[in-house]
């Protein structure tokens, strides 16, 4: 072994803790300055590798010959014991390598096409306005997480996917059971199975009574012609539902809080809504809510940034580190909605790059603009110390955001 690579028992324990709620753990910057790749020790004593700089993260994520994303692989690195179980049972394409990944993903790309997303925009705007009507009617103080950040993506997913809105609390419970850091193995397993079973029942319902929604269209285009089994569709549908809820919710909560903390920036954006597209990219860069994915396992010994990652060892690519890499972004720890943040990796990179990214962008552009227009004097209704940050979750954000206006 190269002399400059520490043994597993000398490698620091991962994950690291944040010391400031608005920034990633400080160990990322320190390690990034020292080397592009750094060894860590996981909860089970196994060694894994953190790839911390923008250029190497792209290198690993583009290389699906030497790095596998097969979650069922016993060497695939997991952040908690529950995650091992969840990964082992993942049947959707997020956990597959090629050629299977592309074969399945291709069946769903039209559902997330520019045309489909543009057609959905008026509905997304109407949902934002409706929720802000409810907030205005409720009056201050209101918890923006409960009243907006959670409900908004649920209503949008309901319109797109075809899941009845009444089921959104169940869907969120299933998503959160997977994204928590403290849940039991049993809880994670049960909730993963329950959500797939739910989508399987929804497929039966839509086969009998089709609507204008994703489930009905996929049945017609791919299930009936025999290109996709109902069970595979149930697993993929469950993954899409989970992915569509929690991530956007956290960007709404955390992004709004950041704008409230930066009053001049908030006023500037409110005065010039044309800045919104760039502002959303910068907020995505700055927050990078997906904390412990993407992950891969080395299929052979691979040298990355001069460091050998041995065959069978796991790799984490904390996107919050790549998105704060000073080699890519000037003053990366400064939030600046006027910078060009378009190279951020908050949606991942390579074959598993987020399928819902256009939807997420439209949702965020619409919802932040509506919040700033409808609640121009928005402010926190409690001291910052009373905001509970999601240190306990794999998707980072805030549990509560009491606001007044
Ligand atoms: C701000 C919101 C979002 C963020 C930050 C985000 C982030 C990500 C990231 C980092 C990945 C890559 C994971 C990996 O490589 O292991 C991913 C994959 C994925 N995302 Fe998102 N996502 C968001 C919203 C959405 C939405 C709204 C949907 C769908 C409705 C969605 C559907 C998916 C799917 C299906 C994948 C798997 C793609 C594949 O494996 O080919 N995401 N997302």
Q: Which atom of ligand 1 is nearest to the CA of 250?
A: 1
Query: 360 CB less than 6 Å from ligand 1?
Result: yes
Ligand 1 neighbour 251 (Cβ under 6 A): yes
Distance 95 CA to ligand 1 centre (A): 12
Is 393 within the bounds of a domain? yes
Q: Count of domains in the chain? A: 1
Candidate from 98, 352, 354, 395 with most ligand 1 atoms within 8 A of CB, to mutate: 354
- Contact yes or no for 60/72 (Cβ under 8 A): no
Whether 7 shows a pLDDT value over 60: the answer reads no
Residue 123 belongs to what domain range? 8-404
pTM of the model: 0.95
Give the pLDDT band (50/70/90) at residue 140: very high
Mutation pick for ligand 1 pocket among 127, 240, 247 (CB with most ligand atoms within 8 Å): 247
**Ligand 1 lined by 214 (C-beta under 6 Å):** no
Q: Is 93 in the pocket of ligand 1 (CB under 6 A)?
A: yes
**Average pLDDT estimate for 52-56:** 97
Residue from 381, 384, 376 nearest 142 by CA: 381
CA of 240 to the centre of ligand 1 (A): 8
Tens of pLDDT along 347-382? 999 999 999 999 999 999 999 999 999 999 999 999
Cis status, amide bond into 3, omega within 30 of 0: no
Please check whether residue 2 lies inside any domain of the structure.
no
Does the pLDDT at position 82 exceed 90?
Answer: no
Q: Answer yes or no: is 3 within a domain.
A: no
Asked if residue 1 is part of any domain, the answer here is: no
Weakest mean pLDDT among 24-33, 82-91, 152-161, 210-219: 82-91
More confident residue, 177 or 389: 389
Ligand 1 midpoint to CA 260 (Å): 26
Q: Is residue 21 part of a domain?
A: yes
- The sheet with strand 402-404 has its strands ordered as 142-143, 402-404, 379-380
Model pLDDT, residue 70 = 96
Rounded Cα distance, 348 and 396, in Å: 15
Task: Fill in the DSSP letter of residue 113.
Answer: S
Q: Do 128 and 154 touch, CB atoms closer than 8 A? A: no
Question: How far does residue 329's CA lie from ligand 1's centre (Å)?
Answer: 23
Considering the domain boundaries, does residue 46 fall inside one?
yes
User: What is the Å distance from ligand 1's center to 37 Cα?
Assistant: 24
In the predicted model, is pLDDT for residue 5 greater than 70?
no
pLDDT at 120 over 80: yes
CA dist., res. 247 & res. 23, Å (int): 18
CATH number of 17's domain: 1.10.630.10
Residues 266, 260 contacting (CB under 8 angstroms): yes
Neighbours of 373 (CB within 10 A): 13
Q: 193: how many CB neighbours lie within 10 A of its CB? A: 13
For ligand 1, whether the C-beta of 54 sits within 6 Å is no
Q: 191 CB under 6 A from ligand 1?
A: no
Strand partners, 309: 302
Distances (CA, A) of 15 to 58, 226, 292, 317, 335: 21, 43, 8, 12, 24
Are the C-beta atoms of 399 and 143 separated by less than 8 Å? Answer: no
Tokens at 279, concatenated: 């502002």
Structure tokens at 319: 């996107």
pLDDT > 70 in the chain, percent: 98
Cβ(76)–Cβ(48) below 8 Å: no
Structure tokens at 253: 């909560």
Tokens standing for residue 293: 């994915």
Domain assignment of residue 266, yes or no: yes
pLDDT score recorded for residue 364: 98
Q: Tell me what pLDDT residue 121 has.
A: 97
> What confidence score (pLDDT) does residue 80 get?
87
- For residue 10, pLDDT over 80 is answered with no
pLDDT class for 234, splitting at 50, 70, 90? very high
Band (86; pLDDT cuts 50, 70, 90): confident
281 has which bridge partners?
Answer: none
Tell me if residue 2 falls in helix, strand or coil: coil
pLDDT at 277: 98
The answer as to whether 287 is a domain residue is yes
Q: How confident is the model at residue 169 (pLDDT cuts 50, 70, 90)?
A: confident
Residue 334 DSSP one-character state:
S
Q: Please tell me what DSSP assigns to residue 398.
A: B
Distance from C-alpha of 295 to C-alpha of 273, rounded to nearest angstrom: 36
Task: Indicate the pLDDT class of residue 192, thresholds 50, 70 and 90.
Answer: confident
Residue 2 confidence (pLDDT): 41
pLDDT greater than 80 at residue 1: no
**Coil, strand or helix at 390:** coil
Residue 130 has a pLDDT of: 97
Cα(92) to centroid of ligand 1, in Å?
13
pLDDT score of 8 more than 60: no
């Amino acid at each position: 072994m190269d002399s400059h690579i520490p043994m597993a028992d000398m490698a620091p324990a991962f994950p690291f803790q944040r010391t400031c709620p608005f920034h990633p753990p400080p160990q990322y910057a320190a390690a990034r300055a020292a080397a592009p790749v750094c060894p860590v020790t996981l909860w089970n004593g196994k060694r894994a590798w953190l790839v911390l700089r923008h250029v190497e993260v792209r290198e690993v994520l583009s290389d699906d010959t030497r790095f596998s994303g097969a979650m069922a692989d016993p060497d695939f690195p997991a952040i908690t014991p529950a995650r091992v179980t969840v990964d082992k049972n993942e049947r959707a394409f997020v956990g597959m390598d090629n050629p299977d990944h592309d074969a399945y993903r291709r069946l769903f790309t039209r559902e997330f096409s520019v045309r489909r997303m543009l057609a959905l925009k008026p509905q997304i705007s109407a949902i934002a306005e409706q929720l802000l009507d409810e907030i205005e009617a409720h009056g201050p103080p209101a918890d923006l997480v409960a009243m907006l950040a959670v409900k908004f993506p649920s209503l949008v997913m309901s319109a797109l996917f075809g899941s009845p809105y009444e089921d959104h609390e169940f869907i969120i419970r299933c998503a959160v059971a997977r994204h928590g850091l403290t849940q039991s193995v049993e809880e994670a397993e049960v909730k993963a199975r329950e959500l797939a079973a739910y989508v399987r029942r929804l497929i039966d319902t839509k086969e009998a009574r089709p609507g204008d929604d994703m489930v009905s269209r996929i049945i017609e285009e791919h299930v009936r012609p025999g290109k996709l089994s109902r069970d595979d569709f149930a697993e993929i549908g469950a993954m899409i539902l989970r992915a569509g809820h929690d991530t956007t919710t956290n960007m709404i909560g955390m992004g709004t809080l950041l704008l409230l903390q930066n009053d001049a920036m908030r006023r500037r954006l409110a005065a010039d809504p044309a800045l919104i597209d760039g502002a959303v990219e910068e907020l995505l860069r700055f927050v990078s809510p997906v904390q412990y994915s993407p992950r891969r396992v080395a299929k052979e010994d691979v040298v990355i940034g001069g460091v050998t990652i041995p065959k069978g060892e796991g790799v984490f690519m904390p996107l919050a580190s790549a998105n704060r890499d000073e080699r890519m972004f000037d003053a990366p720890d400064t939030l600046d909605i006027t910078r060009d943040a378009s190279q951020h990796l908050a949606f991942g990179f390579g074959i598993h790059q987020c399928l819902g990214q256009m939807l997420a962008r439209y949702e965020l552009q619409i919802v932040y603009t509506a919040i700033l227009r409808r609640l121009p004097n928005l402010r926190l209704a409690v001291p910052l110390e009373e905001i509970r940050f999601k240190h306990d979750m794999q998707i980072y954000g805030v549990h509560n955001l009491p606001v007044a206006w």
